[in-house]
Structure 1
Amino acid sequence: MDALSTTDRTGTLAAEHLADLEARPLALNQASAADLSMIPGLSLRNAHRIVRHRAENGPFGALGALQTVEGIGPTTVHAVRPFLRLEAPTAPSVFPTFAAITSNLSVQLTQRVTRRLDLGRGFHGNQFLGPPGRLTTRLQLAHERRLQLALTLDKDPGEPIRWNPETQTYGFDHVTGSLTLRDLGRLETLVLGDFTAQFGRGVTLWQGLRFGKGRDPIAPPQAHGRGLRSYRSASETSFFRGAAATLGLPGALSLTAFVSRRHRDASIDSSFTGVDGPFPVRTVSGDGRHRTPSELARKGTFGETTSGGALEYRRSGLRLGVTGYHARFSRALRPGDRPYRQFRVTGHETSMIGAHGTAFLGDYTLFGEIARAPRGSYGGLLGGALNGEYADAVLLGRRYPPDFASFYGSAFGGGVQTQNETGVYTGLQLRVAPAWTLGAYFDQYRAPWLQFSIPRPSTGWEARLVLEHEPRPWLSSYLQVRVQEDDEGTEYQRGSRLLEGLHRKRRHSARWHTEYAFSDAFTVRTRLELSLHTSPEARSRGFFLAQGVRWTPTPVLTVDARTAIFDTEGFAARIYAYEHDLRYSFSAPVFFDRGRRSYLLVQYEPHPSLTLEAKYGVTSYENRSTIGSGLNQVEGSRRRALRLQVHWTL
């Protein structure tokens, strides 16, 4: 991964999700509670309150009528308004005619071209097989919510454009598409093509977008699965390919079934001689890069055939469900004999079954999920939340044993995998005054088994405190303090021997961010962040200061710019800072060493259906003669990038 300008997969999925919501807001009088809960600023509890109020009192006549729902005030309505629209309910059993579809068909086409202007060694030495630009094409056709057709084509920098069905390359390196039908009588959802499946709290089955710990201490631990959704991202991991459907049954029941077959990238262990048939796989890759012959050799070498489903009971105050899947592999998984890999999924197949539930009891919510892994171990989480007038709180306990190998799970926790972790999370948000909000969480966790580069069982904790102040609609700021302490692998000298062990590392960071809107046309943003990393071996500090402006001289033109200076004592004191990007994109560069970062983002709308975007960014270092490493290494102290995008809506 490029340490200078990383594009986090979760952040990219979030950016795509928000862009889709803005482009096609949810129908307030039809959206489910799971869909509504994905709107920023709207909790699952309040989403269920909206659905219950709609069922008991009829459809909403205006977006402002949301204030009549218990627990929802003007601030929440203002935050969710851009993602909602009013639409009269339609009879779910009537499929629209072809003429109705064509007369009310929404078409969106997005073409993005990005290119780094300072190229790495892989391009200069012709080791990369393709040109340096990245191309992304997105086509989406939709008739309201009921019919959606999506196609995404993507080629990473260095990947060739070629037609080679043997390596599943059809022009672009990554092709994903789907046809989705909704609300056809008892058929709630039907997806043909690429899709994600999210049920319960993610212990058993969760693919696609999930928010981790952040400034909001309440919503992430309570995230609930949205069921089946079409997959339209340029990210090449975490989705199924096949067919899936959800049927509504009598008695508030719904039944979901899916089948998937897709090929993923994997590293083959050709030295393994203990199994008949194809060579086994050591690791399944997720970066999706196919720039060199060795990377192309890994493409599509690991076949997965997965079938599964869920049975759910849904009432306004209670949700219960059972989820399960079974997956077979074209090659055996042999993760190797290193101790930290001991409990990973092995062999030609895996499966899991679990049960989840959510109960709404006035201002309180109880939720949980438990699942059984193939080795017979049980893992899960259990939590409770309070949604009060002046305070929100959540308490969540989780236990994922070392041998709890959840192949498709992505539950809330501190690690990447839903495995080898036990922890307790506490979150609190207080509305201390009309313009003041105080949020905090404390998460303590333990890994009872070894991890990569950590040769012993380890412990850690993380705390975050955020004070937000919005005295006027045109002025807002927040102060954030974060502390994280973990065990870290190290080596100790004992005579003539080196022994593996642990020591504690601690990372502190403090951030102040403010936004001031001089007018509807001009806004300034300032951010100051300090970091401190300490361990028995070293202490390093970091500094980051950024000044940004947003200028809209005319309704059709918006200019967003920022310049930042940073000075850190090495990578350990690194600082991440989100920056505005093209639609459907997410950018959070990581800053270390000493230098300057600037970017200019221009958005022009010559016509209501046409948006043109361009972004130029440059990062310069004062104390480096090369940037990056390996085939990505760039000679010099500067890295520049240009990003162009056209978005057309019919």
Structure 2
Amino acid sequence: MCPASPPFHRTLAALIGLLPIIGPTPATGQSRQDTLETDTTEVASTLESVLDALNTADRTATLAAEQYADLRARPLVLNQASAADLSVLPELSMKDAHRIVQHRDTHGPFDSVGDLQTVDGLDAATIRAIRPFVRLGPGAPPSLFPAFGTIVSNLTFSLTQRYSRRLDLGRGFHEDRFLGPPGRFTTRLRLDHERRLQLALTLDKDPGEQFRWAPDTQTYGFDHVTGSLALRDLGPVETFVVGDFTAQFGQGIALWQGLRFGKGRDPIAPAQKRGRGIRPYRSASETNFFRGLAGTIGLPGGWVLTAFASRRHRDASVDSSFADAEGPLPVRTVSGSGRHRTPNELARKGTFGETTVGGALEYHRSTLQLGITGYRARFSRPLRPGNTPYRQFRVAGHSTSMLGAYGTAFLGDYTLFGELARSPRGTYGGLLGAAMDGDYAEAIMVGRRYPYDFASFHGNAFGGGRRPQNELGVYTGLQLRLAPNWTLGTYVDQYRAPWLRFAVPRPTTGWEARGVLKYEPRPWLSSYLQARVRSEEVGTEYQRGGRRLEGLQREYRRSVRWHTEYSFSDALTVRTRVELSQHSTPQTDSQGFFLAQGLRWRPHPAITTDARIAVFDTDGFAARIYAYEHDLRYSFSAPVFFDRGRRSYLLIRYNPFSSLTLEAKYGVTRYDNRTKIGSGLNRVDGTRRREVRLQIHWTL
């Protein structure tokens, strides 16, 4: 370990950590029920269990924060939502979503959200988790063409304006290497008529980017502009989108854009999600969406047809070594960062054009759902991933395509699901899973086979990588209800990469296991203990006979976390977390420690404050620890902690009116053993890094 932190910091952190234990208990005369009403504290606790599985390196992190913020502001209509829509709710499995829809079809519309208790298989904890994201609504879609006055009276307009920046700037700003100012501006505009009509526009400028008008690079003041017009429930037309949208079908092997969770604290739900079809895209994230037209039509006999056409330009690195060749210069890699701060980054913007057409045909019955999906994409420049061995089997050439077939069968307490897809090389990739749901146990097993030459350009299936390629694996998850207030969730994932990966010179194997013991005696008191182990082979170099050789070594990552959350009252909640980490190889052994005390206080119904103080001490980056922290609506934050220091933040939310929300967050990280933070143009000279974020959300 690194040298010990100053005794004051250790002592202060330890005393703060005892607050939930030595603090007062709820007063006997307090009006406190075993089932709390939906409030900000409960929503935050629910989302933390989901978002905590992510970190800032995940591209899905921003999408997750945005999706759940949108669901909180515009809950799903319980009496109209499909099983696919319900399955995105936190802690709700595909089987649970199917049971809700089946109960609704059999017994009629729900009379209240509390009637979810009558659905077989839904326990009180699951209902509390999804309650903030659903509302009752009518039992059937409204009339096809409502009166003009009805439309106007039900229109909802919302505006969100966010500004954020780091107060301690890096080299790129001090040396004038970045073209624009250090602040990030994000503007969101929404106009809704129930779920029938949704008009959305998102404008975003990252730190270091310019405000400029350059239509040739798709820059219109803000660097990133995305928008869509979506219509739903127009007779046989289930969905019609003009503008930006995503497509999600089956298990995601052939086609899946947008949010998809991987392995987390919930061992069951993330492994069996179901595609939601066409959805409008409104995110500030600049990758992984289509731009054009898309529509879904319901046909007689339970058939559903979806078709889409897209044309958009993406960032890419052009390979200038082919300057003497005829035709457009080829592209080596398609960029996903979305940053355009320097002339070199700006030169990559919009250089890769992609025209894509595709669709899906699905058959829906109460216990059986089948479908086929596919697309074909043509590129304005040829893709040439290069001669590096690990890039050898990536998508290449002037075009690509994919065709997949998928299905789900609900057989009482059992669910079977899977997908098989074919790549342009004629290689087949697939996933097959089975889930069981009993009174006291849930179990799931998923086998996946993504060959090394199976190149899915728009796939995002369950597994260890972002793309379903070069991976064979078996995942087994189990969740047990040990007692009324105790649950144990665990999974084991074993996998193998049959081909080379980045910085790994040979095929490798690995495994990962996680166990979470949760104790929830009351809705206002919860605690869990988590242990996680990951072992895999990684690349290394060693000397033999005066020569440097590439080889493999086995790496272990271990962590243990204890987290507890206690609500003294509806106005005061405290959270305590302790985490230990270890990273080991045959040559090194690194350890880490993290202790945090969080506090949520509502001194007034219109004011909510969220604060946390944390200390960390690790033997460098190898023993790093990620810790999710609360942020502005539509934002995500999970800083990575390594070396030795302290982190604190304060988030204030003020609702002077029901239609107006003002938010401000200030955070600072201080290091005890560093004089430089970050690297490259982002390097900060000093021992601290501060940031401030401001946001206004107005609904009319």
TM over 0.5: yes
| Residue equivalent to 2:383 | 333
Matched, 1:224 2:292: no
**Mapping of residues 195-214 of structure 1, within 5 Å:** 195-214=245-264
1:313-338 Cα shifts (integer Å, max 9, x gaps): 01111000000000000000000000
Q: Which runs of 5+ in 2 are unaligned?
A: 1-54
Measure how far apart 1:21 and its partner are: 0.8
Distance 1:487 1:8 in 2: 21
In structure 1, C-alpha distance between the alignment counterparts of 2:666 and 2:519, rounded to whole Å: 32
SS in 1 for 2:663: strand
Secondary structure of residue in 1 paired with 2:321 = coil
SS of equivalent to 1:419 = coil
Q: Is the 8 A contact 2:80 2:141 kept in 1?
A: no
Aligned position for 2:283: 233
Find 2:83's aligned residue among 33, 38, 45.
33
- Equivalent residues, number: 646
Per the TM alignment, residue 274 of structure 1 is displaced from its structure 2 partner at its CA by: 7.5
Counterpart of 1:361?
Answer: 411
Q: Distance in 2 between matches of 1:422 and 1:253?
A: 33
Query: Is residue 447 of structure 2 the alignment partner of residue 397 of structure 1?
Result: yes
- The answer to whether the 8 Å contact 2:475/2:493 transfers is yes
Tell me, in whole angstroms, the C-alpha distance in 1 between the residues paired with 2:310 and 2:587: 49
Instruction: Give the aligned partner of residue 407 of structure 1.
Output: 457
Alignment of 1:555-574 (within 5 A): 555-574=605-624
SS in 2 for 1:212: coil
Which of 553, 575, 580 pairs up with 1:530? 580
Deviates more, 1:110-119 or 1:487-496: 487-496
TM-score, structure 2 normalization: 0.91
Segment of structure 1 superposing worse, 272-281 or 108-117: 272-281
Alpha-carbon distance in 2 for matches of 1:333, 1:79: 45
**Shift in Å at residue 166 of structure 1?**
1.0
Partner amino acid, structure 2, of 1:527: R
Q: What is the CA–CA distance in structure 1 between the aligned matches of 2:298 and 2:324, rounded to whole Å? A: 48
Looking at structure 1, the residues matched to 143 and 469 of structure 2 have their Cα atoms a distance apart, in angstroms, of: 43
Shift of 1:41: 2.0
State the Cα distance separating 1:89 from its structure 2 match: 3.3
**Where do 1:558-637 residues align within 5 Å?**
558-637=608-687
Shift of 1:9: 2.7
Structure 1 residue 257 corresponds to structure 2 residue 307: yes
Structure 2 CA distance for aligned equivalents of residues 46 and 317 of structure 1:
13
Please report how far the alpha carbon of residue 50 of structure 1 lies from its aligned counterpart in structure 2 after TM superposition.
1.2
Shift of 1:107: 1.1
1:51 aligns with 2:104: no
Amino acid at match of 1:487: E
Shift of 1:415: 1.3
* Residues 1:503 and 2:553 aligned together: yes
Q: Which residue of 2 aligns with 1:153?
A: 203
Asked whether the 8 Å contact 1:39–1:80 carries over to 2, the reply is yes
Q: CA deviation at 1:7?
A: 6.6
SS at match of 2:69: helix
Aligned to 1:259, what secondary structure does the other structure show?
A: strand
**Structure 1 counterpart of 2:472, from 414, 422, 444:** 422
Q: Distance in 2 between matches of 1:21 and 1:6?
A: 22
Counterpart amino acid of 2:409? A
The reply on whether 1:440 has 2:490 as its aligned counterpart is yes
1:516: how far off?
A: 0.9
Shift of 1:70: 1.4
Structure 2 partner of 1:641 = 691
Encode CA deviations 1:586-627: one digit per residue, 9 max, x unaligned.
Answer: 100000000000000000000110000000000000111111
Cα shift at 1:193: 0.3
Deviation at 1:452?
Answer: 0.3
- Matching residue's letter, 2:417: F
Structure 2 contact 610–650 (Cα < 8 Å) conserved: yes
Choose 275-284 or 287-296, whichever is displaced more: 275-284
Residue in structure 2 matched with residue 177 of structure 1 by the alignment: 227
Per the alignment, do residues 383 and 225 of structure 1 end up closer, same or farther by CA in structure 2, a change over 3 Å counting? Answer: same
Q: d(CA) in 2 for partners of 1:228 and 1:97?
A: 27
Displacement after TM superposition at 1:93 (Å)? 6.0
CA distance in 2: counterparts of 1:89 and 1:244, whole angstroms: 27
Quote the offset at 1:519 in angstroms. Answer: 0.8
Counterpart position of 1:464: 514
Distance 2:209 2:421 in 1: 40
SS of the counterpart of 1:427?
Answer: strand
Aligned to 1:305: 355
Query: In the alignment, what sits opposite 1:292?
Result: 342
| Counterpart selection for 2:504 from 454, 457, 462 | 454
- Alpha-carbon distance in structure 2 between the residues aligned to 1:313 and 1:92: 25
Letter in 2 for 1:590: V
**In the alignment, is the contact (CA less than 8 A) between 2:79 and 2:140 conserved in 1?**
no
CA distance in 1, matches of 2:323, 2:655: 61
Return the letter of the residue paired with 2:212.
Answer: R
Aligned twin of 1:187 = 237
Task: Check whether the contact 1:197–1:206 (CA below 8 A) recurs between aligned residues.
Answer: yes
In the alignment, the residues of structure 1 paired with residue 552 and residue 605 of structure 2 have an alpha-carbon distance, to the nearest angstrom, of 57
One-letter code of the match for 1:83? F
Task: Give matches, 1:471-550, under 5 Å.
Answer: 471-550=521-600
Q: Residue type matched to 1:201 in 2?
A: Q
The Cα of 1:53 is off from its aligned counterpart by 1.5
Bigger drift between 398-407 and 270-279 goes to 270-279
Contact kept in structure 2, 1:8 and 1:588, CA below 8 Å? no
Question: Shift in Å at residue 441 of structure 1?
Answer: 0.2
Which amino acid in 2 is paired with 1:608? Answer: S
State the shift of 1:74 in Å.
2.7
Amino acid at match of 1:332: P
Amino acid at match of 2:186: T
Q: CA deviation at 1:92?
A: 6.0
Q: Could you tell me whether the CA contact under 8 Å between 1:93 and 1:183 is conserved in 2?
A: no
Structure 2 residue identity aligned to 1:438: L
What is the percent sequence identity of the aligned residues?
A: 73
Distance 2:143 2:298 in 1: 12
1:346 aligns with 2:396: yes
Residues in 1 aligned to 2:507 and 2:232: alpha-carbon distance in whole angstroms: 47
Q: Relative to 1, partners in 2 of residues 1:474 and 1:93: Cα closer, same or farther, differing over 3 Å?
A: closer
Match for 1:174: what amino acid? H
Residues 350 and 287 of structure 1, relative CA distance in 2, 3 Å threshold = same
Q: Counterpart in 2 of 1:19?
A: 69
Provide the C-alpha distance between the structure 2 equivalents of 1:120 and 1:576, rounded to a whole number of angstroms: 22
User: Which residue identity lines up with residue 434 of structure 2 in the other structure?
Assistant: G
- Give the Cα separation in 2 of the matches to 1:539 and 1:291: 38
Q: CA deviation at 1:6?
A: 3.7
Is 2:564–2:575's contact at 8 Å kept on the other side of the alignment? yes
Letter in structure 2 aligned against 1:254: V
The Cα of 1:42 is off from its aligned counterpart by 1.6
Matched, 1:71 2:121: yes
Aligned partner letter, 2:604: T
> Do the aligned partners of residues 254 and 644 (structure 1) sit closer, same or farther apart at CA in structure 2, a change above 3 Å counting?
same
Q: Distance in 1 between matches of 2:541 and 2:99?
A: 55
Distance apart, 1:78 and its partner CA: 2.1
Name the SS for the 1:271 alignment partner: helix
The letter for the 2-side match of 1:405 is: A
Q: CA deviation at 1:91?
A: 4.8
User: In 1, distance between residues paired with 2:142 and 2:396?
Assistant: 45
Q: Which runs of 5+ in 1 are unaligned?
A: none
Q: Is the 8 A contact 1:7 1:586 kept in 2?
A: no
* Native 8 Å contact 1:7 1:587 kept in 2: no
Superposed CA offset, 1:506-539 (max 9, x none): 0000000001111111111000000000001211
Counterpart AA for 2:356: T
- Deviations 1:149-187 (CA, angstroms, capped at 9, x unpaired): 011000000000000011110000000000000011110
SS at match of 1:229: strand
Give the conservation status (yes or no) of the 8 Å contact 2:360–2:371: yes
Contact 1:8 1:586 in 2 (8 A): no
1:169 maps to a residue whose letter is: T
